[in-house]
Amino acid sequence: MGMISGWGRYPKIDAEEMSFESDHHLQNLLNAPADSRTLIPRGLGRSYGDSSLAERVISTKRMDRLISFDDGTGVLVCESGVSIAEILNVFVPRGWFIPVTPGTKFVTIGGAIASDVHGKNHHLSGSFSNHIVWIDLALADGEIVRCSTKENRELFLATCAGYGLTGVVLRAAIQLTKVETPYIRQHTIRAANLDEAMAAFENNRNWTYSVGWIDSLSSGNSSGRSVIMLGEHASTGEIASFIKGAHSDAGRGASGKSRLTVPFDFPAFALNSFSVSTFNYLYYHKSTANPKDSLVKYQPFFYPLDGILNWNRIYGRRGFTQYQLVLPKESSREGLKEILKMASSGGNASFLTVLKLFGNEDLPYLSFALEGYTLALDFPITRYIFDELEKLDDIVKIHGGRLYLTKDCRMSIEMLRAGFPKLDKFLEVRERIDPQRRFASLQSKRLGL
Ligand SMILES: Cc1cc2nc3c(=O)[nH]c(=O)nc-3n(C[C@H](O)[C@H](O)[C@H](O)COP(=O)(O)OP(=O)(O)OC[C@H]3O[C@@H](n4cnc5c(N)ncnc54)[C@H](O)[C@@H]3O)c2cc1C
């Protein structure tokens, strides 16, 4: 037994961790004499809240083998405990990239599927499940079933964004994306407020990647003041012309290795409205007023925080929560303004606030994305934070939005029902394949999943 938590370090529970290294080994674990304690698969624990927490967790850390790769089609078959970092290390030098990546590469393929993660390219490429050819899934009774959009379709749609509640993903076939270089051509735009930021996203929809960092403490006419980063995989020709040009960032921070680490918990007072607004002010004004082009290695573009090991410790011992919401396109502008107004006035400084544009809604029943805008805000756990978040819930609900389960540790059943119209389809599949609810997490119990 030992204490485990998600990335937000709240909540923490005492759990027994089991791991397995083959299908047969997992089947033995699942068929062992009945144990009333709940069970949930777990990857690298990068979900923020309680979706990978249970009395017993089945770690996929020993299921870490690459099985096959077809150089003609770009289809990779690997075990579910392989991380995106490991895939990139092997495949970027061979000219292939992961089709969708979250903001950290330290997630497993099982975790990416179970949360149906999105990246900075959702408006063009959708979420992770759009790029999966098939999945092998171990059900609660140990049966192994292959599923995809064509085969056992309902099980596939319940397993992607299924948060481990349909079983353990053993293997997956994933369509990789061809790239010429490990570099990203980056274009940076400064936006004076939310309207300008949204215009920058809309006018640049043809860029493969886009993301906005928002100064969440700016208010009034400056509310939503942000720096928007656009990116494309650079071609070899572009690298050559950048190297000739004066403004190349190529090579700067190119190793992608972690150089910084947070070795201890920050005291709770370290991140307050004053320190966050000072940092935000400096960051915004550091970026030039004129749009800027640069060439950067893929690591700093996709994973800026992976360069600081254990950065989650800056929120102190009590931990933090990330509140990530999405609003439909038609209500995004008004809703985001209200959210930002409340976030900047509540006295709870969100250190990291990120805005992204989403494209079409994804097929899986509990996938997070809706066509519109998503905003993610980080808040330290304090005595009043959950009351404050309920006020944000009301805004999200009124504007027809939803919250992201992989970041959540406190959502209500009512909020879940309001946000996920396909919830009953998910529950039907769950009832059919695991009526005893052998697979359950703290989150699924809280939400009646
Ligand atoms: C810095 C940072 C940035 C992030 N940025 C993004 C982002 O941009 N977009 C985004 O979508 N997410 C983002 N995330 C969230 C992260 O991508 C997801 O939470 C992802 O699921 C974590 O994967 P993991 O391997 O750590 O899984 P865990 O956190 O261990 O588990 C997450 C869920 O997956 C289930 N699971 C894990 N493995 C399996 C398996 N083999 N079979 C079945 N179920 C399984 C667990 O039961 C749990 O419900 C970010 C997280 C961090 C820390």
| pLDDT tens string 98-123 | 999 999 999 999 999 999 999 999 99
| pLDDT tens string 15-27 | 999 999 999 999 9
**Prediction pTM value:** 0.94
Query: Does the beta carbon of 60 lie inside 6 Å of ligand 1?
Result: yes
Would you give the DSSP letter of residue 43? S
Look at ligand 1, atom 17, and give the residue with the nearest C-alpha. 102
Look at ligand 1, atom 15, and give the residue with the nearest C-alpha. 47
Query: Does the beta carbon of 365 lie inside 6 Å of ligand 1?
Result: no
Query: Does the beta carbon of 166 lie inside 6 Å of ligand 1?
Result: no
Look at ligand 1, atom 37, and give the residue with the nearest C-alpha. 111
Average pLDDT, stretch 336-346?
Answer: 88
Q: Positive or negative, the Cα torsion across 173, 177, 178, 181?
A: negative
Pairing of strands 56-59, 39-42: parallel
The string of DSSP letters for 241-273 reads: HHHHSTT--TTTTTT----EE--SPPPGGGS-H
- 244 contacts: CB under 8 Å, gap ≥ 6: none
Query: Does the beta carbon of 117 lie inside 6 Å of ligand 1?
Result: yes
Query: Does the beta carbon of 83 lie inside 6 Å of ligand 1?
Result: no
**Cβ pair 326, 335 in contact under 8 A:** no
- Cα 114 to ligand 1 centroid, rounded to whole Å: 7
Between CA 118 and CA 138 the distance in angstroms is 24
Distances (CA, A) of 92 to 85, 176, 441: 10, 10, 35
In ligand 1, which atom is closest to the CA atom of 164? 44
For a ligand 1 pocket test, name from 47, 51, 56 the mutation site with the most ligand atoms within 8 angstroms of its C-beta. Answer: 47
Q: Which of 71-75, 105-109, 183-187, 271-275 has the lowest mean pLDDT?
A: 271-275
Report CA 226 to chain centroid distance, whole Å.
Answer: 21
Query: Does the beta carbon of 101 lie inside 6 Å of ligand 1?
Result: no
Query: Does the beta carbon of 305 lie inside 6 Å of ligand 1?
Result: yes
Query: Does the beta carbon of 107 lie inside 6 Å of ligand 1?
Result: yes
For 68-75, the CB contacts below 8 A with 24+ separation are: 73/175, 74/175, 74/176, 74/177, 74/178, 75/133, 75/173, 75/174, 75/175, 75/176
Between CA 318 and CA 158 the distance in angstroms is 33
**Cβ pair 104, 46 in contact under 8 A:** yes
- pLDDT band of 217, cuts 50, 70, 90: confident
Would you give the DSSP letter of residue 313? G
Output the pLDDT for position 228. Answer: 96
Between CA 255 and CA 248 the distance in angstroms is 16
Query: Does the beta carbon of 46 lie inside 6 Å of ligand 1?
Result: yes
Average pLDDT, stretch 430-438?
Answer: 96
Query: Does the beta carbon of 443 lie inside 6 Å of ligand 1?
Result: no
Average pLDDT, stretch 419-441?
Answer: 97
Task: Check whether the bond before 304 is cis (ω within 30° of 0).
Answer: no
- Cα 155 to ligand 1 centroid, rounded to whole Å: 19
- 43 contacts: CB under 8 Å, gap ≥ 6: 52, 59, 60, 80, 81, 83, 107, 108, 110, 111, 114
For a ligand 1 pocket test, name from 104, 127, 325 the mutation site with the most ligand atoms within 8 angstroms of its C-beta. Answer: 104
Residue scoring higher pLDDT (362 or 346): 362
- Cα 174 to ligand 1 centroid, rounded to whole Å: 17
Q: How many CA atoms lie within 13 A of 72 on its CB side?
A: 0
For 132-135, the CB contacts below 8 A with 24+ separation are: 132/160, 132/172, 132/173, 132/174, 132/175, 133/75, 133/172, 133/173, 133/174, 133/175, 134/172, 134/173, 135/159, 135/160, 135/169, 135/171, 135/172, 135/173
Q: What does the block give as tokens for 117?
A: 């993660």
For a ligand 1 pocket test, name from 42, 258, 439 the mutation site with the most ligand atoms within 8 angstroms of its C-beta. Answer: 42
**Cβ pair 174, 131 in contact under 8 A:** yes
- pLDDT band of 239, cuts 50, 70, 90: confident
- Cα 276 to ligand 1 centroid, rounded to whole Å: 27
| pLDDT tens string 122-157 | 999 999 999 999 999 999 999 999 999 999 999 999
Query: Does the beta carbon of 44 lie inside 6 Å of ligand 1?
Result: yes
Task: Kindly tell me if the per-residue pLDDT of 259 is higher than 80.
Answer: no
Query: Does the beta carbon of 51 lie inside 6 Å of ligand 1?
Result: yes
DSSP H stretches of helix in 296-407: 298-302, 329-345, 385-398
- The single residue listed with the structure tokens 């960092």 is 213
Between CA 168 and CA 170 the distance in angstroms is 6
Output the pLDDT for position 95. Answer: 97
Q: What does the block give as tokens for 54?
A: 């249970």
Walk me through the domains of the chain, giving residue ranges and CATH numbers: 66-179 (3.30.465.10), 183-417 (3.30.70.2520)
Q: What does the block give as tokens for 436?
A: 């005893």
